[in-house]
Amino acid sequence: MKITEIRSHVLQYDLDEELGYSQQYYTKRTAHLVEVRTDEGITGWGECFGGGGIALANKTIVEQVIQPMIIGMNPLDRDVIWHKAYNLMRDHGQKGMPIQSLSGVDIALWDIAGKYYNQPVYQLLGGAFREEIPVYGYGMMLQRVPDLKERFKTDSAQIVEAGFKATKMKIGLGVKEDIELVETVRDAVGPDFQVMVDANHAYTTREAMTLGHEFEKMGIYWFEEPVAPEDHQGYRDLCEALVLNIAGGEAEFTSFGFRDLIKNRCVDILQPEVCALGGITEYQKIIAMARAHFVPVVNHVWGSAVAVGTNMHLLAALPDFPGAAHPVQPMLEYDTTPNRFREELLQKPLNIQERVKQSGGTIPIPTGPGLGVDPDPDFVRHFEVN
């Protein structure tokens, strides 16, 4: 089998309402899908992390840089292809956009392999450790509205009502404002519901320390990206000073990048983003390091149904470490803010929200060959902007 063509599809539409996080607000929803075609008629799908102009630039990397490097190669040679593309791009970017671009291609190769062997991808990864995956409902994004606290109150209550096992909210408005926001959500969901907060690296270590002590009093489960991803010392200081879990990893890339984060115990919970860090091939190497250092993993998930579906396979195949009769199960992160690329993209929708509601917070692992994330071609054409 040979790779014959790699096409990148950037999809976009205008959101009804602006959404934001600690770094910016945005009005367009983007998804960047990668389609790898073969001479045997098998097509694989993947996704690259990064919206807006980043997606358009990554499209050029996928089609103009990576495609010529690997065209004609056997798509089943995933590790060989990964190393060839990485080695040729190394001098031009060991993190960031080249690696995001490679991620989408690599994920599509795993989809091809699953379809070729007629097996779900989690089977190729070593099998399923669980039949059901617990799901947490992420919501409460920042908005420039006067009634933000009211909205967070309503949204978090809806996430509890929808059946999710836990919830996550954005912060990053300032120390005082964040404490009030988190208190609002804690009051809305009650004292026992698991709540996580995500600062998207808006703070200095000292500010994060102050916030962390307050979050501990409120029983917050994890504090995500408190400081800049490059600030390993800041991460370590927070882990040592605070009792609550420090989480991070979504802005780290490849096993080379994750090596120091894991080895230096910078996080209590590692959040690898498969659509950014280099794809499933590299994710496996990162998981092996996390396992050897006993660092729990809860994947970062963001994007279209392709990203969500991919992570369902990864979470099915993620071992419990250290292992026990009643282990804490890794959760699927599920964004609950409006996203047509999550709800309407696939020929066979994932129906996560309905399944969560029915089961009381879990979804069954996928069935069928590959990743099970084939997009509806008419939908792709309609929203494609390139």
Nearer to Mg ion, 172 or 366 (CB): 172
Q: Which is nearer to Mg ion, 78 or 170 (CB)?
A: 170
In whole angstroms, the minimum distance from the beta carbon of 23 to Mg ion comes to 11
User: Which of these ranges, 142-150, 182-190, 191-199, 346-354, lies near Mg ion under the rule CB under 5 A?
Assistant: 191-199
Tell whether residue 335 is a contact of Mg ion (CB under 5 A). Answer: no
Distance, CA of 212 to CA of 195 (rounded, Å): 13
In this structure, are strands 3-21 and 24-38 parallel, antiparallel, or unpaired?
antiparallel
Least Å distance between CB 200 and Mg ion?
Answer: 6
Report, in Å, the least distance between residue 202 CB and Mg ion.
11
- Kindly state the number of chain residues that form the binding site for Mg ion, as judged by CB under 5 A: 2
Catalytic-labelled residue, pool 300, 313, 326, 382: 300
Please check whether residue 340 is in contact with residue 376, taking contact to mean a CB–CB distance below 8 angstroms. Answer: no
Instruction: Extract the tokens encoding 231.
Output: 């600030």
Radius of gyration over every alpha carbon of the chain, rounded to an integer in angstroms: 20
Query: Min. distance of Cβ 198 from Mg ion in angstroms?
Result: 4
**Is the CB of 39 or the CB of 230 nearer to Mg ion?**
230
Q: How far is CA 26 from the centre of its chain?
A: 19
CA atoms within 13 A on the CB side of 330: 30
In terms of C-beta density within 10 A (0-12 exposed, 13-18 middle, 19 or more buried), how is residue 72 classed? exposed
Q: Taking the complex as a whole, how short is the minimal distance between the CB of residue 164 and Mg ion, in angstroms?
A: 17
Nearest of 184, 161, 230 to residue 169 by alpha carbon: 184
Question: What is the nearest approach in angstroms of Mg ion to the Cβ of residue 225?
Answer: 5
300 in catalytic set = yes
Residues 101 to 140 in contact with Mg ion, rule: CB under 5 A: none
ω before 322 within 30° of 0 (cis)?
A: yes
Binding Mg ion (rule: CB under 5 A), the pick from 111, 198, 231, 335 is 198
Give the binding range for Mg ion (CB under 5 A) out of 28-36, 93-101, 216-224, 284-292: 216-224
- Using the contact rule CB under 5 A, the part of the chain among 87-95, 209-217, 218-226, 366-374 near Mg ion is 218-226
d(C-alpha 248, C-alpha 198), whole Å: 9
Q: Please identify, among the stretches 26-34, 38-46, 190-198, 232-240, the one whose residues bind Mg ion according to the rule CB under 5 A.
A: 190-198
Report the residue number whose CB is nearest to Mg ion. Answer: 198
| Closest residue by Cα to residue 142 from 164, 173, 165, 121 | 173
Nearer to Mg ion, 245 or 386 (CB): 245
Q: How far apart are CA 330 and CA 290, in angstroms?
A: 14
CB 317 within 8 A of CB 126: yes
Q: Which of residues 220-259 bind Mg ion (CB under 5 A)?
A: 224
- Interacting residues with Mg ion (CB under 5 A): 198, 224
Q: Which amino acids are annotated catalytic?
A: 300
